[in-house]
Amino acid sequence: MSSLQRILFLSLLAVFLSSAPTDDIHAKSGDDVILHCHDPSKPSILRLRWIRPDLISEGYIYFFREGRSYDQFQHPDFHGRVKLRDPEMKDGNLSVILKHFSISDTGTYECHVGGNNAGSGHEIVNIIHLKVEADQRNITAEAGDNVTLPCQVPRNTQILVVEWIRPDLEPEYVFMYKNGQPVPDHQHPSFKNRVELKDGGMKDGNLSVILKNVMMDDTGTYECHVYQSQRNHTMSIINLNVHQPAGHTEEGGKKDGHVGPTVGVTVIVLLVVVVGFIIYKISKRAGKTEE
Ligand SMILES: *[C@@H]1O[C@H](CO)[C@@H](O)[C@H](O)[C@H]1NC(C)=O
Ligand SMILES: *[C@@H]1O[C@H](CO)[C@@H](O)[C@H](O)[C@H]1NC(C)=O
Ligand SMILES: *[C@@H]1O[C@H](CO)[C@@H](O)[C@H](O)[C@H]1NC(C)=O
Ligand SMILES: *[C@@H]1O[C@H](CO)[C@@H](O)[C@H](O)[C@H]1NC(C)=O
Ligand SMILES: *[C@@H]1O[C@H](CO)[C@@H](O)[C@H](O)[C@H]1NC(C)=O
């Protein structure tokens, strides 16, 4: 092969590898997640490797060779949690089930097929981006309310930073908590002294904040982001809608407007009746005196 041919060949190989299908999957803590992989071209699979490129130095997610899986080559975090969806791999079905999703399982998973022990010559069949499914909610409140914006991670989750943001604001920070302390720098001025964590801490992974004395301008989208040492996750997306308290609404004003004309009409009708009666009496008396 000339060097030009080699470059062409390598580019084609790169295009082929990067054309492996890519899936995005979202999961909640505790879910069992199916990582899909399908390779119909190889009915008798000798080697199947599920890997996380960022964890490969500590082992495979799942390793299968010549009829059986090998736990000793598996990353310790995945022991006992990964199994083939179809143990017979019928029709090239190489999907696995990852049991009991936790937020540290967030990452990129690759399904590799074939190759020798050194790992060369294998093919990437599927790439999966596994992410946390954010808790999405709509919350309605009245101006003046204290509103809880919910955000929850599993107990004992190691967290470096929690941030609540309003992406449409500049600066966007509603609340930031770092190394066990609130960080007031960069906070948008309208949230100063109005946002706090329950009991001032993050007990049992409860990262919900209380937004005090909400105003119409607080209407918008709030996101709770959590940073771990290697990763970050969007845990909650909350649409808050703040409206005027009942009684101060336009409807109340309309009611007053209705009362006015009703009273006015009643008074006019009474006046007409009384005046008419007087005119009738007067004209009757006038008729009598003429006789
Ligand atoms: C893989 O196997 C599972 C379980 O038997 C089945 O539900 C799924 O449809 C199969 N997927 C494919 C692509 O054949
Ligand atoms: C929030 O409200 C929008 C429309 O206002 C609706 O489409 C959406 O499904 C709601 N989301 C939830 C989680 O209730
Ligand atoms: C909101 O919380 C404050 C104390 O943090 C309290 O004084 C106030 O009464 C609360 N407002 C409402 C509407 O509950
Ligand atoms: C988390 O804290 C919020 C705000 O204090 C509270 O309303 C909520 O019930 C708590 N959630 C759990 C699961 O304890
Ligand atoms: C958050 O994680 C994503 C990948 O999941 C990454 O692309 C992004 O740069 C991270 N953001 C920060 C601020 O670390």
- Average of per-residue pLDDT across 36-43: 80
Distance 175 CA to ligand 5 centre (A): 19
Asked if residue 124 and residue 38 are part of one domain, the reply reads: yes
Q: Which of 68, 101, 132 is the last residue of a domain?
A: 132
Look at residue 269 in the predicted model and tell me its pLDDT: 56
Look at residue 57 in the predicted model and tell me its pLDDT: 95
- Average of per-residue pLDDT across 236-258: 70
Ligand 4 near 205 CB (within 6 A): no
Look at residue 115 in the predicted model and tell me its pLDDT: 62
Give the lowest-confidence range in 119-133, 172-186, 202-216.
119-133
Distance 14 CA to ligand 1 centre (A): 29
Report yes or no on 160 lying in a domain. Answer: yes
Is the pLDDT score of 273 beyond 90? no
* Nearest ligand to the CA atom of 245: 3
Look at residue 255 in the predicted model and tell me its pLDDT: 39
Look at residue 120 in the predicted model and tell me its pLDDT: 59
**For residue 48, which amino acid is it?**
L
Count CB neighbours of 10 within 10 A. Answer: 10
Distance 76 CA to ligand 4 centre (A): 33
More confident residue, 188 or 263: 188
Ligand 1 near 42 CB (within 6 A): no
**Domain range enclosing 79:** 11-132
Look at residue 261 in the predicted model and tell me its pLDDT: 47
In terms of average pLDDT, the best of 62-76, 208-222, 239-253 is 208-222
Look at residue 183 in the predicted model and tell me its pLDDT: 92
Ligand 1 near 36 CB (within 6 A): no
- Average of per-residue pLDDT across 250-254: 43
Asked if residue 183 and residue 116 are part of one domain, the reply reads: no
Asked if residue 200 and residue 114 are part of one domain, the reply reads: no
Is the pLDDT score of 267 beyond 90? no
Is the pLDDT score of 260 beyond 60? no
Asked if residue 128 and residue 49 are part of one domain, the reply reads: yes
**Shortest-distance Cα residue to atom 1 of ligand 2:** 138
Asked if residue 167 and residue 54 are part of one domain, the reply reads: no
For the CA of 210, the nearest atom of ligand 4 = 4
Asked if residue 146 and residue 235 are part of one domain, the reply reads: yes
Coil vs helix vs strand at 133: coil
pLDDT in tens, 46-88: 789 999 999 999 999 999 988 889 999 999 999 999 999 998 8
Asked if residue 74 and residue 155 are part of one domain, the reply reads: no
* Nearest ligand to the CA atom of 103: 5
Asked if residue 49 and residue 121 are part of one domain, the reply reads: yes
DSSP, res 207: -
Look at residue 145 in the predicted model and tell me its pLDDT: 96
Mutate which of 83, 86, 90, 126 for ligand 1 pocket (most atoms within 8 A of beta carbon): 86
The pTM assigned to this predicted structure is 0.74
The C-alpha atoms of residue 165 and residue 173 are separated, in whole angstroms, by 5
The fraction of the chain above a pLDDT of 90, given in percent, is: 56
Mean pLDDT, rounded, of the chain: 83
Mutate which of 140, 239, 241 for ligand 2 pocket (most atoms within 8 A of beta carbon): 239
Domain count, the chain: 2
Distance 233 CA to ligand 5 centre (A): 8
* 109 DSSP β-pair partners: 128
Strands 62-65 and 181-182, bridge-based pairing:
unpaired
Distance 231 CA to ligand 5 centre (A): 7
Distance 206 CA to ligand 4 centre (A): 6
For the CA of 239, the nearest atom of ligand 2 = 1
* Confidence grade of residue 170 (pLDDT, cut at 50, 70, 90): very high
Which residues does 260 contact at the CB level (< 8 Å), separation at least 6? none
pLDDT in tens, 107-165: 999 999 886 555 556 789 999 999 999 999 999 999 999 999 999 998 888 899 999 99
More confident residue, 251 or 210: 210
Look at residue 259 in the predicted model and tell me its pLDDT: 42
Ligand 3 near 196 CB (within 6 A): no
Asked if residue 74 and residue 62 are part of one domain, the reply reads: yes
For the CA of 138, the nearest atom of ligand 2 = 1
* Nearest ligand to the CA atom of 229: 5
List the structure tokens of 161. 């930073």
The C-alpha atoms of residue 67 and residue 85 are separated, in whole angstroms, by 15
The C-alpha atoms of residue 186 and residue 168 are separated, in whole angstroms, by 15
Q: Which of 109, 132, 155 is the last residue of a domain?
A: 132
Report yes or no on 124 lying in a domain. Answer: yes
Instruction: Spell out a b/e string for 61-75, using b for 16 or more CB atoms within 10 Å of the CB, else e.
Output: bbbbeeeebeeeebb
For the CA of 199, the nearest atom of ligand 4 = 5
- DSSP for 4-47, written as a single string: HHHHHHHHHHHHHHHTS-EEEEEE-TT--EEE--B-TT-SS-SE
Report yes or no on 4 lying in a domain. Answer: no
More confident residue, 218 or 265: 218
The CATH number given to whatever domain includes residue 76 is 2.60.40.10
Report yes or no on 173 lying in a domain. Answer: yes
